[in-house]
Structure 1
Amino acid sequence: MRLFVGLELPPSLLHAIAGLRGSLPDVTWLPPESYHLTLHFIGEVTHGHLLEEIHHTLSAIRSTPPVLQPGGAGLFMTSRPHGSDTLWIGCAPDAALLSLRDRIRKGLNRAIPPGEKNSRHFTPHITMGRMDHPDQVRRQRWLATTLPPVAAQAIGHFTLFQSMRHADGPVYEPLEHYPLRF
């Protein structure tokens, strides 16, 4: 099973971001129920004992609840010839969010065998969609888009998700919620 750790979005933030869907043509927009902020990608886990170790590691994490404050739009451009660019909405990297991400990363890097460690650069964001051959002018205009005002919100838990591949795109199933407390 393919796993990652992330934050579920509060309804007001989810609604504000979903309101941007369709605002740029030629984008494959993700459904709002898939929106989340990834804290740590784990990858494929095939052994039950490893899943148990992940659960124990995540259960032991203590951290101040992060505050999600949405920011501007962004784009991850692919370097592959036939890959898709990724549109996203950023979130301010508050100290509690960075600390939580760091605790999760360090804990899981100790728990997961060396070949499967993850040390990707962390850009707090919510993926909204993918595009293959964007019109450069429209894309630049969209990247200047701002969200309607949304109050910053503290998040009370983080989640272990399973990512399942489907013909319409990935589906993310929450497997376990871990309350945030210090």
Structure 2
Amino acid sequence: MRLFIGLELPPALTHALAGLRGNLPDVTWSPPESYHLTLHYLGAVTHGHLLEDIHHALNAITAAPPMLRLSAPGLFEPETHHGPDTLWVGCAPDAALTHLQQRVRATMNRLLPGSARATRRFVPHVTVGHMQHPDPLRRQAWLAAMPPMPEGELVGHFTLFQSLRHADGPVYDALEHYPLQG
């Protein structure tokens, strides 16, 4: 099973992001129920005992609840010339969010084999859609015309998700929630 650790978005933030859908042509918009902020991608976990070890390790993490504030939109272009561009909305810097992500990454890097270690720089964001062969002028206009976002909200738990592949795109199933206190 393919796993990752992330934050579910509070309803007000999900609603605000869903309001962006449809105002840019040629985008495959992510469904609002899939919105999340990835803290750490684990990839394929094939051994049942490893899933239990992951659960116990995540359960031992203590951290303060982060404040999620949506900020500027952005774009990840594919690393090769093939594949879609990824539209996303960033999250404003937050010390508790950075601390939580570092704790999750360090915990998982100690637990998992070397091939599963994440080394990418953490860019807190929520993916809202994908564009294949976008019109650069329309894309730039969309990125520049972001409406105001709601106030930030504290997130009281982080989640272990399973990513399931479907014809319409991935579906994310929350396997377990881990409370945050601070």
Any residues of structure 2 matched to 1:1-182 within 5 Å, and which? 1-182=1-182
Runs ≥4 in structure 1, deviation > 4 angstroms? none
Structure 1, gaps ≥5 residues long: none
Q: 1:74, CA displacement in angstroms?
A: 0.3
Structure 1 residues 69 and 160, CA gap change in structure 2 (3 angstroms): same
Q: 1:29, CA displacement in angstroms?
A: 0.4
Q: 1:17, CA displacement in angstroms?
A: 0.5
- Aligned residue pairs total 182
Q: Determine if contact 2:71/2:149 at 8 Å carries over to the other structure.
A: no
Q: Determine if contact 1:73/1:145 at 8 Å carries over to the other structure.
A: no
Q: d(CA) in 2 for partners of 1:133 and 1:172? A: 26
Q: Determine if contact 2:4/2:161 at 8 Å carries over to the other structure.
A: yes
Q: d(CA) in 1 for partners of 2:153 and 2:181? A: 16
Q: d(CA) in 1 for partners of 2:142 and 2:136? A: 10
Q: 1:119, CA displacement in angstroms?
A: 1.6
**Residue type of the partner of 2:44?**
E
* RMSD between aligned residues: 0.9
Structure 2, gaps ≥5 residues long: none
| CA deviation profile, 1:89-138 (whole Å, cap 9, x unmatched) | 00012000000000000000001112221121110000000001111100
SS in 1 for 2:78: coil
Q: d(CA) in 1 for partners of 2:113 and 2:63? A: 24
SS in 2 for 1:86: strand
TM-score (norm 2): 0.98
SS in 1 for 2:39: strand
**Residue type of the partner of 2:35?**
Y
Q: d(CA) in 1 for partners of 2:79 and 2:104? A: 28
| % identical equivalent positions | 63
